[in-house]
């Protein structure tokens, strides 16, 4: 998701880190958050299914992939159009209807998305 994060950062600067976000540590909580929701930010719309699929668009280009939960992290393999964005495990944090993904197990770039009803 590194390129998608880069795309997200170009399309809208990620906000400053904030203490109001809480870390999601297990798959059940993550599934509860994303069930029947769409993750959105300017020019990006993603559906992350509880069963492990990712699909949507980023800058009008198809996004698709798969995810699983591993050792407290959201781990995904993703493509954006014909670009293979590869595998990356990410820290997930949430604040109400906002969800933040931080690449490289919480040590990389982050992008915030709104969780909207599907």
Alpha helices in 26-111 (DSSP H): 27-34, 103-106
Residue with tokens 């492990």: 52
Q: Comparing C-alpha atoms, which of 86, 48, 55, 85 is closest to residue 69?
A: 48
Q: How does pLDDT run across 53-67, given as a tens digit for each residue?
A: 999 999 999 999 999
Tell me the pTM: 0.84
DSSP 3-state of 33? helix
Q: Comparing C-alpha atoms, which of 41, 23, 10, 4 is closest to residue 106?
A: 23
Task: Please give the pLDDT value at position 28.
Answer: 98
Q: How does pLDDT run across 73-88, given as a tens digit for each residue?
A: 999 999 999 999 999 9
Note whether 88 and 1 are within 8 A (CB). yes
Segments in the chain below pLDDT 70: 1-19
Secondary structure letter of residue 13 according to DSSP: P
């Amino acid at each position: 998701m590194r390129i998608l994060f880069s795309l997200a950062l170009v399309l809208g600067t990620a906000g400053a880190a904030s203490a109001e976000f809480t870390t999601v540590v297990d798959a059940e909580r993550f599934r509860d958050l994303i069930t029947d929701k769409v993750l959105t930010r300017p020019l990006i719309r993603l559906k992350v299914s509880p069963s492990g699929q990712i699909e949507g668009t980023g800058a009008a280009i198809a996004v698709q992939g798969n995810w699983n939960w591993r050792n407290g992290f959201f781990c995904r393999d993703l493509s954006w159009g014909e670009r293979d964005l590869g595998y990356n495990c990410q820290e997930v944090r949430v604040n109400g209807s906002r969800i933040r993904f931080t690449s490289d197990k919480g040590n990389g770039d982050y992008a915030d998305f709104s969780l909207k009803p599907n």
